Amino acid sequence: MKSLRFLSAEAFVSNADFARKSLSSVAHNLFPLLFKASYLLEQGEVIHDLVKNWPLVDFNMGKLLGTTMDYQEDLSHRTCSVCLESCLTGLRDYVLHHPSPYVKRLKLVDLTGIKDVEVQFCDCKKPMGRWARTELLSKLCLELLVHLQQMQCKPCTFKISIDVLVDLFVTERNYELVVQALLQKCYCPLKICCVAFRADNLALQKFFYIIKLTDPSLLRKLEVVHNVRLEMEHLEILFNSIHFPLLMSLTLPARTFNVLRHTASDELMLTTIGEKMGEMTQLTELSLAFSILTGRIQKLLSPLKTPLKMLDVSNCSLNHDDMAYLANSLHSYHLEVLDLSGHDIPGLYPSTFFKLLSHSSSVLRSLILEDCNIQDSHVNMLILGLSPCHKLQDFKFLGNPLSSEALKHLFAFLCELPMLKNVEFPVPMDCYPIGISYPIDDASLCRFDHQKYEKIAEELNLILLQGNREDVKASTPLFGSYDAAVQETNEELGAYLIMSFKETLEKFTASLSKMS
């Protein structure tokens, strides 16, 4: 519900020309209210002028767009291109604007509270994702330096220093631009302060160079994903050469670890990496998906001095010893997010898994068990394990061979989890042709009876409705959950994959030619 103040703010900013002319008469404490109203109505020109004349010490997007007393709706998930571009250009023009130096109070801009989501509710329907925000901010910082060199600016302009907290997303395509912005940081009034960094489709040499430019002492989150060929030896070099004192979240690309090589140097590297992670006293989130860690989880995680709150070991070939360690470790009592996808949980370690689930039940918010060979005969046991998980919000179990009847039984139970918001369930086994084998390959994934699936999906949603749980969203994303970062850069990543495939074919052809 909107307060009378917010309704008045909407009326004020709805006439853009009038609002822009009247800003000089507006009380400073009303700027946040007007900013949220302008963002809701997508009044780009008003947003630009509000930021250009911002009278307060800080500008925090998450707080400005989040739940407020005047309007409870959270707008921080609206990455509206019109609004965000107006906001960032307004920030540039704040520096170039020449009012009295006493008005220039802004010291901190926090852009980290913006959340990228799949569905945009803004009228323009055009989002500005993390990659695009990185590119635009870098471009504006460089433009600002050019303006300052060309214009006859007042001396007070050169004294402006504003820390801009951002989540940077760098790929090959925007690498040079971001590097130039980071190299010129000390000369620019807008100081890029990277608190979260994501690298994809980037050569290792470039990754090592740019990560040093970001000022690693400020980094809280580091994501090195997909097309960055980081292996164990490179990770050891990274941790030996760079200190990350504030790092809380670490995501590593697939196959970073491969313990099957069984060399003495690999064992030593694993020990060193574990010790270095142990020195990161803030580290509470770790993603190691698609590495091979068989029998080595304890060596890697036991040096950590703080318990993990998030652990992704999906498709890591864990054995019974690994699961036993996780179930009995201090981490098990603090895990809020757990991904064990790709492991045969019922067949390999049912008792240790349920012990782990029992220990984490009081705090667990998200559980992902995709392709875990959970069958109809395991559903009652799964329900028993999930029963104490009263804080569970997300439960994803795609790719498991479950019948429609088993799913109905499970959904009836899921109605009892009070905080559950999102469920991702598999296409029922009886919708596929007889004899289909699990895990289902991509070629066969869509070869099911779609009409039958739709009917079963309606029945499952009816169970939620009858259980007064219309707040729960149930879906079957066949190719995995939505990833805003991948969606935004899919053209670049697709081109990279085609190029890699071409290079592989050329090498293969050359090898055949030499053999003949």
> What is the DSSP track for 70-124?
SB----TT--BHHHHHHHHHHHHHHHH--S-GGG----EEE-TT----SS--STT
What is the rounded end-to-end Cα distance, in angstroms, of the chain?
76
The token pair at 239 is 């941790």
The token pair at 272 is 């060193």
Pairing, β 221-224 against β 366-368: unpaired
Structural element, H or E, at residue 197: strand 190-199
The token pair at 157 is 């302009």
Beta bridge partners of 224: 199
Percent of the chain exceeding pLDDT 70 equals: 93
Q: Helix (H, G, I), strand (E, B), or coil: what is residue 167?
A: strand
Q: Which residue has the higher pLDDT, 416 or 485?
A: 416
10 Å CB burial of residue 364 (0-12, 13-18, 19+) is buried
Among 377, 281, 385, smallest CA distance to 340 is for 385
Number of domains in the chain: 1
At 470 the pLDDT is: 96
Q: Residue 22's domain spans which residues? A: 4-128
Tell me the pLDDT tens digit for each residue of 447-476: 999 999 999 999 999 999 999 999 999 999
Pairing, β 310-312 against β 285-287: parallel
Give the model's confidence band at 265: pLDDT under 50 very low, under 70 low, under 90 confident, else very high: confident
> 347: Cβ–Cβ under 8 A, 6 or more apart, which residues?
373
Beta bridge partners of 2: 71
50 assigned to some structural domain: yes
Integer Cα distance of 475 and 395 in angstroms: 11
Give the model's confidence band at 102: pLDDT under 50 very low, under 70 low, under 90 confident, else very high: low
285 assigned to some structural domain: no
- Residue 309: is its pLDDT beyond 70? yes
At 151 the pLDDT is: 76
Average pLDDT for 67-87: 96
Q: What is the pTM of this model?
A: 0.93
Tell me the pLDDT tens digit for each residue of 405-416: 999 999 999 999
449 assigned to some structural domain: no
The token pair at 312 is 């992704």
Give the model's confidence band at 189: pLDDT under 50 very low, under 70 low, under 90 confident, else very high: very high
- The sign one gets for the Cα dihedral 483, 489, 490, 494 is negative
Among 222, 178, 171, smallest CA distance to 196 is for 222
Integer Cα distance of 62 and 80 in angstroms: 14
Please, are residues 71 and 3 in contact by the beta-carbon 8 Å criterion? yes
- Residue 505: is its pLDDT beyond 70? no
Integer Cα distance of 21 and 4 in angstroms: 23
Integer Cα distance of 491 and 482 in angstroms: 16
Average pLDDT for 232-258: 96
Structural element, H or E, at residue 495: helix 490-515
Beta bridge partners of 473: 422
Phi, psi of 462 (to 5 degrees): -65, -35
384 assigned to some structural domain: no
20 assigned to some structural domain: yes
Give the model's confidence band at 149: pLDDT under 50 very low, under 70 low, under 90 confident, else very high: confident
Average pLDDT for 294-316: 97
Q: Which residue has the higher pLDDT, 374 or 158?
A: 374
Phi, psi of 337 (to 5 degrees): -130, 125
268 assigned to some structural domain: no
Integer Cα distance of 412 and 422 in angstroms: 15
69 assigned to some structural domain: yes
Tell me the pLDDT tens digit for each residue of 322-372: 999 999 999 999 999 999 999 999 999 999 999 999 999 999 999 999 999
Beta bridge partners of 196: 167, 221
Please, are residues 323 and 298 in contact by the beta-carbon 8 Å criterion? no
Peptide bond preceding 439 in cis form (omega within 30 of 0) = yes
Please, are residues 48 and 89 in contact by the beta-carbon 8 Å criterion? yes
At 510 the pLDDT is: 66
Average pLDDT for 41-63: 97
111 assigned to some structural domain: yes
Average pLDDT for 255-284: 91
Q: Which residue has the higher pLDDT, 413 or 513?
A: 413
